[in-house]
Amino acid sequence: MRFVDSVSVYVEGGSGGDGALSFRREKYVPKGGPDGGDGGDGGSVIFEVDVGLGTLLDLQFQQHIRAEKGVNGRGKNMTGARGQDHIVKVPPGCEIFDEESGEFLGDLTENRQRLVVAHGGHGGRGNARFATATNRVPRRFEYGREGEKRRLRLELKLIADVGLVGFPNVGKSTLVSAISHARPKIADYPFTTLVPHLGVVSAGEYRSFVIADVPGLIEGAADGAGLGHRFLRHIERCSVLLHLLEVNEQRGSDPVKDLDTLMRELERYAPEMLERPAIVALNKIELNYDPETVENLRLEAGKRGMPFVAISAATRTNLDELVRKLADYIPRLNRPEDTSEYDERYSIDSSEE
């Protein structure tokens, strides 16, 4: 399945039905009064959250979304039927904007949450509505009003507790596959991960959280290098960030400088993300490395107020410790009232494609 996280759609509410121009026609009643009924209201276009969806792919092929028109009124004071609403399913984490004005219309995060994005038009009044003591034979009626029309931009921000940030090939996908049931693509070349992945991690009884793996970030991403900042919005909702670095003396990488680069790129994307709780993990400790390098990174993380753990995703070394540290930093898991039941969106692993 292709991952699509931004689409533009045109939505149109149904037009209201016209009011009727009609007079009673009964035997022995030669001058019956007006009996034109009202037109029915048009249907509305409504977005509804479906937690079973994880992409906006379906909407990419719907250029126009229209609700049903209202039915015209009829004689004998018969009101036309209301047009049917058009319900459009969207994944959780979807933000809706008016494309022309840029107005923010809503943020859909909860299952079955709804947002009316294009209201239907009101039905017109029939001539029976205009009868008065001085105008007993009104020939006036109203046409139905047009429904609301607008072009929308939908942006998907994945809902996860932990956002995984790091350079290409530091082992992000390997880590996600090691601590969850997610199976992202893993290979020994840069930018193996081209789209975000979600994995559900178990941290003990009634303690599960979602981790988001996004494509690797490199220096200069704010200027469009690599995959740029396109996918960073998927970790904006995360309550905790996990900065994953690597031990790789052959490549001449310096984890302390790499951490500084990551923090700088995050600041250029959204300064408020530096205030988010974060943990630093040094991966690939199964390789030959200088213990001084690890200690330097531990000290640097401490200066920034970030817990530190050295791990190996390949050999699963210290992964339990990492999972515990992450769970302890997630507010949702540390409120007593939240430990008695699972939130439904954490009961499945939505990362499979």
Q: Look at 1 and 140; give whichever has higher pLDDT.
A: 140
Contact 34, 130 (CB under 8 A): yes
Number of domains in the chain: 2
In this prediction, residues 10-14 reach a mean pLDDT of 97
Domain annotation covers residue 351:
no
In this prediction, residues 143-160 reach a mean pLDDT of 91
Please tell me the distance from the alpha carbon of residue 140 to that of residue 190, in angstroms, as a whole number. 71
In terms of DSSP H, where are the helices of 245-306? 255-269, 291-303
Q: Look at 252 and 159; give whichever has higher pLDDT.
A: 159
Contact 285, 247 (CB under 8 A): yes
pLDDT at 338: 44
Judgement on whether residues 33 and 144 belong to the same structural domain of the protein: yes
pLDDT at 168: 81
Task: Give yes or no for residue 310 having a pLDDT over 80.
Answer: yes
The one-letter amino acid code at 331 reads P
Q: Look at 156 and 83; give whichever has higher pLDDT.
A: 83
Judgement on whether residues 103 and 230 belong to the same structural domain of the protein: no
Residue 175 parent element (H or E): helix 172-179
Judgement on whether residues 171 and 244 belong to the same structural domain of the protein: yes
Please tell me the distance from the alpha carbon of residue 119 to that of residue 15, in angstroms, as a whole number. 9
Judgement on whether residues 72 and 148 belong to the same structural domain of the protein: yes
pLDDT at 150: 96
Q: Look at 43 and 170; give whichever has higher pLDDT.
A: 43
Q: How far apart are the first and last CA of the chain?
A: 5
Task: Give yes or no for residue 341 having a pLDDT over 70.
Answer: no
In this prediction, residues 25-37 reach a mean pLDDT of 83
Domain annotation covers residue 317:
yes
Judgement on whether residues 248 and 230 belong to the same structural domain of the protein: yes
Judgement on whether residues 147 and 175 belong to the same structural domain of the protein: no
Task: Give yes or no for residue 278 having a pLDDT over 80.
Answer: yes
Give the other-Cβ count within 10 Å of 62's Cβ.
Answer: 12
Q: Helix or strand or coil: residue 29? A: strand
Task: Give yes or no for residue 260 having a pLDDT over 70.
Answer: yes
The winner for highest mean pLDDT among 26-40, 76-90, 292-306 is: 76-90
Residue where a domain terminates, one of 156, 181, 196: 156
Residue where a domain terminates, one of 156, 173, 202: 156
Judgement on whether residues 132 and 238 belong to the same structural domain of the protein: no
Domain annotation covers residue 297:
yes
Kindly state the tokens that stand for 166.
Answer: 């790091």
Judgement on whether residues 204 and 127 belong to the same structural domain of the protein: no
Cα four-point dihedral sign 263, 264, 265, 268: positive
Parent domain of 105: 1-156
Task: Give yes or no for residue 298 having a pLDDT over 60.
Answer: yes
Domain annotation covers residue 20:
yes
pLDDT at 234: 76
φ, ψ of residue 105 to 5 degrees: the values are -100, -30
Contact 215, 140 (CB under 8 A): no
pLDDT at 2: 56
Note the pLDDT tens digit of each residue in 90-130: 988 899 999 999 999 999 989 999 999 999 999 999 999 99
Note the pLDDT tens digit of each residue in 190-240: 444 446 777 888 887 667 888 888 776 655 555 554 444 666 777 888 889
Judgement on whether residues 71 and 206 belong to the same structural domain of the protein: no
pLDDT at 223: 54
pLDDT at 3: 63
Residue 177's CATH number = 3.40.50.300
Residue where a domain terminates, one of 133, 156, 179: 156
Judgement on whether residues 119 and 137 belong to the same structural domain of the protein: yes
Mean pLDDT taken over the chain = 83
pLDDT band of residue 187 (cuts 50, 70, 90) is: very low
pLDDT at 261: 87
Q: Look at 251 and 171; give whichever has higher pLDDT.
A: 171
Judgement on whether residues 41 and 152 belong to the same structural domain of the protein: yes
Domain annotation covers residue 173:
yes
Query: What are the E-state strand segments in the chain?
Result: 6-12, 45-49, 64-66, 86-90, 94-98, 104-108, 114-118, 149-156, 162-166, 197-202, 208-213, 240-246, 278-283, 308-310
Judgement on whether residues 200 and 140 belong to the same structural domain of the protein: no
Domain annotation covers residue 352:
no
Domain annotation covers residue 138:
yes
Residue 9's CATH number = 2.70.210.12
